[in-house]
Structure 1
């Protein structure tokens, strides 16, 4: 597949697969199983769930690979989480909870032949990814594939998401944006979390946020009102374009027809998940 075509298909696939992965962060099945095991703090459960494939790592590794979270928030949760629940047990709970949540949200569609086809294509794309420079993806990719199409689809979507995320961090570093600066500029696009939600979930204080905004104003990325300047808009467009480029390799490997088939097959399943409330829309801005 031509690189330009792949860079166009990659974000389409990402948009329709991301909700199928992200249900794990909001599913009551996952939240309850983590709480029962001892991870009753939602931030600790989040960090432990995503970081568990890395093993019992420290806060520095989690801060580096997650990037836009306040390191103090991470340090409050990691490595304490591993003293409560071992990473291997966290992984078992996460996989089981994610599959149960997807089955609940999809209903009868969970057993559709189209889902089995989609799971196979997503696995093919995920297995075409390479781990160089992508530590969080590599850790998740080292895990054995689960049984069954629903669990396979979730794991494959998670792998593609972490592959893209690691690539995105590389792009942010190359553009000289810190974690909080990356978050501030993304919120300024109006396409992410609401401002109050972003601060709370990522652990940044009003003062820290204001300091980051001031630094971005000095670089002429934000204007006096906190909106993106023309230069800031160009920066965000460049970040997304470069992320699409560095995330396109698995779709080039499986070919244009298969990549477009992923987007076609995933769309109705994602609509079903969103309609069923799998991702709480009230957390997000309406821009």
Structure 2
């Protein structure tokens, strides 16, 4: 398989992924949801869809479902467009930023006001605004926003751009392999050694639907009757991850090799602090 040409190696993109992802994921904390409750959010998922979909404007559920890729039938439509009767996308973006900055500060503690946060934000932002937008709808929507200037907000916004850029590329890799969103969750669960139907993101879906999805993977020869990878399934999962890494790598080409290593060194203690805080 040919991969996009990039000066940054896929292996380097893989090293950055958990660091960027950990900092971005404060977006799914209670701090974020707390900002949406006064706006009328009925539950966490109202907050999630309003905040994450807001860069797309008042897009219909079908568009958000396509962009997010990995939700079950009707899940998006339970929240979109309802949340836009409560708030505008602009209000949702502001609420999400407030919640994420509060969560990031809670996780980082004293590190929040350190020079490392400022420098990491500078490097991450350069990478985040240099990546290609082709085929990356959610990333392009985020990139159209004015970046915040406050250092913690700036860092969170930059890592979120990098995370969604990678996520959009991951969806491309899944589509190229003919793997649907629910199938992707099952393959990830199997990779983790878990029962696919019990995986956290899909366990609540109707049992007949989950059985149909699993059965489709088994019929294609990707998963065994005992719910493990076949050789073909393992190879498919590996190709998806390799292409995802390769598609994510060009974002970091704007940085020198030394700057990429500096960014990794700066992000490591920040990600460790947020992980330890268990937000």
Do they superpose with TM above 0.5? yes
| Aligned residue number for residue 260 of structure 1 | 261
| Aligned residue number for residue 120 of structure 1 | 122
Note the residue ranges of structure 1 that are not aligned, 5 or more in a row: 279-287
Alpha-carbon offset, residue 40 of structure 1: 2.4
Alpha-carbon offset, residue 204 of structure 1: 2.6
| Aligned residue number for residue 281 of structure 1 | none
The aligned runs of 1:216-235 (5 Å cut-off) are: 216-235=217-236
Q: Measured at CA, do residues 14 and 106 of structure 1 come closer, stay the same or move farther in structure 2, by a change above 3 Å?
A: same
1:57 to 56, 59, 84: 59
| Aligned residue number for residue 27 of structure 2 | 24
1:136 to 135, 138, 145: 138
| Aligned residue number for residue 215 of structure 1 | 216
The aligned runs of 1:80-159 (5 Å cut-off) are: 80-159=82-161
| Aligned residue number for residue 247 of structure 2 | 246
Alpha-carbon offset, residue 220 of structure 1: 0.8
Aligned partners of 1:271, 1:150: CA distance in 2, in Å? 16
RMSD: 1.7
Partner SS for 1:106 = helix
The aligned runs of 1:195-206 (5 Å cut-off) are: 195-200=198-203, 204-206=205-207
Q: Measured at CA, do residues 247 and 110 of structure 1 come closer, stay the same or move farther in structure 2, by a change above 3 Å?
A: same
Aligned partners of 2:50, 2:206: CA distance in 1, in Å? 22
Partner SS for 1:133 = coil
Aligned partners of 2:129, 2:146: CA distance in 1, in Å? 12
Aligned partners of 1:193, 1:259: CA distance in 2, in Å? 37
Q: How many equivalent pairs are there?
A: 274
Aligned partners of 1:102, 1:245: CA distance in 2, in Å? 29
Aligned partners of 2:32, 2:218: CA distance in 1, in Å? 40
> CA offsets, 1:141-183, max 9 Å, x none?
0010112111010000000011001111111111111111111
Partner SS for 2:161 = helix
Alpha carbons 1:10, 1:248 under 8 Å: kept: yes
Q: Measured at CA, do residues 125 and 107 of structure 1 come closer, stay the same or move farther in structure 2, by a change above 3 Å?
A: same
Alpha-carbon offset, residue 39 of structure 1: 1.1
| Aligned residue number for residue 283 of structure 1 | none
Aligned partners of 2:231, 2:139: CA distance in 1, in Å? 33
TM (norm. structure 2) is 0.94
Q: Measured at CA, do residues 95 and 133 of structure 1 come closer, stay the same or move farther in structure 2, by a change above 3 Å?
A: same
Aligned partners of 1:6, 1:126: CA distance in 2, in Å? 17
Alpha carbons 1:119, 1:153 under 8 Å: kept: yes
